[in-house]
C-alpha cells in the first residue's frame, strides 16, 4: 500500500513540477522585461529546479527523491546582473540597489497572485537617476493598486507618485533624538519636492511642479 501511494505521489509531484517549470519560464521573461525598464537592460533571470536524493522518497525516473507537502522541487532564483557573469543565486550576487529593483520586478510580475498586503521598499532609488526614477515611481504606483506600498526615498520622481507624501525628520530634544512624521499636501508637498532637488528657488520649484504634474498625468490616465 505504501509503495502504491508513493507512486501516486510521484505522479502528482511530476504534474506539479511540470506546471511550475512552465510558469517559471513565463515569470522569467516578465522579470527580464521589468528589469530592462529599471535600468538593468543586460540582466538575466532564471529559476533553477533541483531534487534531493532520498532512498525512502518518491520513485522518479531512475532515482528516489525527497518530498514534502509542497512537492519534490528544490527551487532557487538565479540572477546575472551584468553580461558575462553567468547566472548565480540571487542572494549571492545582487547589491542593495539591485535587490530592491529585483524585488520590484518580481512583485510587479506576481502582483495578481500575491496576497501579501503590505510591501516596504527602502531607498529603491539607489543607483538610478531622474529619468529611470519616473519609471520606478510609476511601477510602484501600479503595485500600490493591489497592495499597500511604503517607499522610503530621496528621489522626487518617486515621491511624486505617492498617494500620500509623509516627511520624516529627526530632531534633538533634551539629549534625546526624536522622529516626527508630517503629512504633506499642495504647497508643502511642492516645497518638499523642490528641496529634494536642491536649494529651493524658482528653478527647483518649477522642476518640482513639472515632476508632480507628470506623475499626476500618468496616474490619472
Read out DSSP for the chain?
A: -HHHHHHHHHHHHHHHHHHHHHHHHHHHHHHHHHHHHTT-TT-EEEEEEE--EEEEEEEETTEEE--BTTBS-EEEEEEE-STTS--EEHHHH--HHHHHHHHHHHHHHHTTT----EEEEESTTTT--HHHHHHHHHHHHHHTTTSEEEEE-S-HHHHTT-SSEEEEEEEEETTEEEEEEEEE-HHHHHHHHHHHHSS-SHHHHHHHHHHHHHHHHHHT-
pLDDT at 97: 64
pLDDT value for 83: 84
Give the pLDDT score at 96: 64
Residue stretches of the chain with pLDDT short of 70: 94-97, 127, 221
Backbone CA torsion sign across 161, 165, 168, 169: positive
pLDDT of residue 17: 97
Amino acid at each position: 500500500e505504501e509503495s502504491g501511494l508513493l507512486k501516486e505521489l510521484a505522479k502528482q509531484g511530476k504534474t506539479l513540477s511540470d506546471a511550475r517549470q512552465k510558469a517559471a519560464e513565463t515569470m522569467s521573461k516578465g522579470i527580464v522585461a521589468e528589469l530592462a525598464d529599471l535600468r538593468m537592460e543586460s540582466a538575466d533571470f532564471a529559476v533553477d529546479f533541483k531534487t534531493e536524493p532520498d532512498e525512502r522518497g518518491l520513485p522518479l525516473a531512475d532515482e528516489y527523491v525527497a518530498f514534502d507537502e509542497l512537492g519534490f522541487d528544490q527551487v532557487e532564483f538565479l540572477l546575472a546582473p551584468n553580461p558575462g557573469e553567468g547566472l548565480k543565486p540571487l542572494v549571492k550576487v545582487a547589491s542593495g540597489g539591485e535587490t530592491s529593483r529585483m524585488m520590484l520586478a518580481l512583485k510587479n510580475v506576481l502582483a495578481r497572485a500575491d496576497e501579501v498586503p503590505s510591501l516596504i521598499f527602502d531607498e529603491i532609488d539607489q543607483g538610478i537617476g531622474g529619468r529611470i526614477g519616473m519609471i520606478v515611481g510609476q511601477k510602484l504606483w501600479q503595485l500600490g493598486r493591489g497592495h499597500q506600498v511604503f517607499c522610503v526615498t530621496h528621489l522626487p520622481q518617486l515621491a511624486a507618485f505617492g498617494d500620500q507624501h509623509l516627511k520624516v525628520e529627526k530632531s534633538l530634544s533634551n539629549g534625546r533624538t526624536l522622529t516626527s512624521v508630517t503629512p504633506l499636501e499642495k504647497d508643502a508637498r511642492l516645497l518638499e519636492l523642490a528641496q529634494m532637488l536642491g536649494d529651493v528657488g524658482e528653478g527647483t520649484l518649477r522642476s518640482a511642479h513639472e515632476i508632480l504634474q507628470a506623475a499626476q498625468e500618468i496616474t490619472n490616465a
